[in-house]
């Protein structure tokens, strides 16, 4: 039995392409392996409090009981435990202003924890979240896979770096791009990404 962690990071409650594609992958995976279990976080519907002066004590381990910092520390522990328990990680990742959404960046702020998900030694940084694979479903209005667009894609490299820093190096990116290039381009992008995801679920 495998456990799949799903992270949604769209701000939309309706009409999200990344959520549709993530759901489509989930149902393909369930067909391929009925015993698969899912642990799901929807960061748009239930946002994590961003790091700030009022909760950062939880990040540094100095929070008073019952404080905002204590709540942050508890949530951080929950998210890291969910990550550790997963065999596979699926991230629905819309591009916002050439990068990932602030909601997803905040999730990384929580789960990247020194001594838990990575550590430094004399040999440099070492990821501690090993033996897992990830699929990142990137949705974009523009086109960043080739040509001039590649220079301003600050989403994919950043996500790859953060996952890799924790030890998750087996990462597949599935892109639905050109969604603002007209209705036909949008349909083709969604269908293309859904087909790629079906193939991954069946593999
Ligand atoms: C705040 C915001 C910023 C965006 N910035 C970009 C961008 O820089 N490049 C791009 O191609 N699309 C951009 N988009 C469009 C989204 O990437 C696109 O609509 C995608 O489908 C969003 O995924 P979702 O439908 O799951 O939310 C932006 C959308 C929003 C709401």
Q: Closest ligand 1 atom, CA of 92?
A: 26
Q: Closest ligand 1 atom, CA of 19?
A: 26
Q: Is the pLDDT of residue 31 over 80?
A: yes
The residue contributing the CA closest to ligand 1 atom 14 is 96
Percent of the chain with pLDDT over 90: 99
Task: Categorize the per-residue pLDDT at 125 as very low, low, confident or very high, splitting at 50, 70 and 90.
Answer: very high
Question: What topology is assigned to 3-202 in CATH?
Answer: Rossmann fold (3.40.50)
- Spatial neighbors of 47 by CB under 8 A, at least 6 apart, are 103, 106
pLDDT in the model for residue 1: 72
Task: Categorize the per-residue pLDDT at 203 as very low, low, confident or very high, splitting at 50, 70 and 90.
Answer: confident
Task: Categorize the per-residue pLDDT at 27 as very low, low, confident or very high, splitting at 50, 70 and 90.
Answer: very high
Q: Is the pLDDT of residue 126 over 90?
A: yes
Domain boundaries, the chain: 3-202
């Amino acid at each position: 039995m495998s456990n799949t962690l799903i992270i949604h990071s769209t701000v939309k409650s309706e009409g999200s392409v990344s959520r549709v594609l993530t759901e489509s992958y989930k149902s393909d995976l369930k067909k391929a392996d009925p015993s698969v279990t899912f642990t799901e976080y929807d960061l748009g519907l239930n946002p994590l409090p961003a790091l700030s002066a009022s909760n950062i004590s939880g990040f540094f381990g100095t929070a008073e009981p019952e404080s905002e910092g204590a709540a942050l520390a508890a949530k951080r522990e929950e998210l890291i435990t969910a990550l550790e328990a997963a065999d596979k990680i699926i991230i629905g990742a819309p591009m916002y202003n050439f990068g990932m959404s602030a909601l997803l960046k905040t999730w990384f702020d929580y789960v990247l924890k020194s001594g838990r998900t990575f550590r430094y030694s004399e040999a440099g940084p070492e990821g501690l979240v090993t033996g897992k694979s990830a699929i990142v479903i990137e949705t974009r209005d523009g086109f960043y896979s080739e040509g001039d667009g590649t220079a301003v894609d600050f989403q994919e490299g950043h996500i790859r770096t953060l996952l890799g820093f924790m030890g998750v190096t087996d990462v597949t990116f599935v892109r639905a791009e050109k969604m603002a290039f007209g209705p036909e381009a949008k349909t083709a992008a969604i269908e293309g990404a859904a087909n790629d995801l079906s193939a991954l679920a069946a593999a």
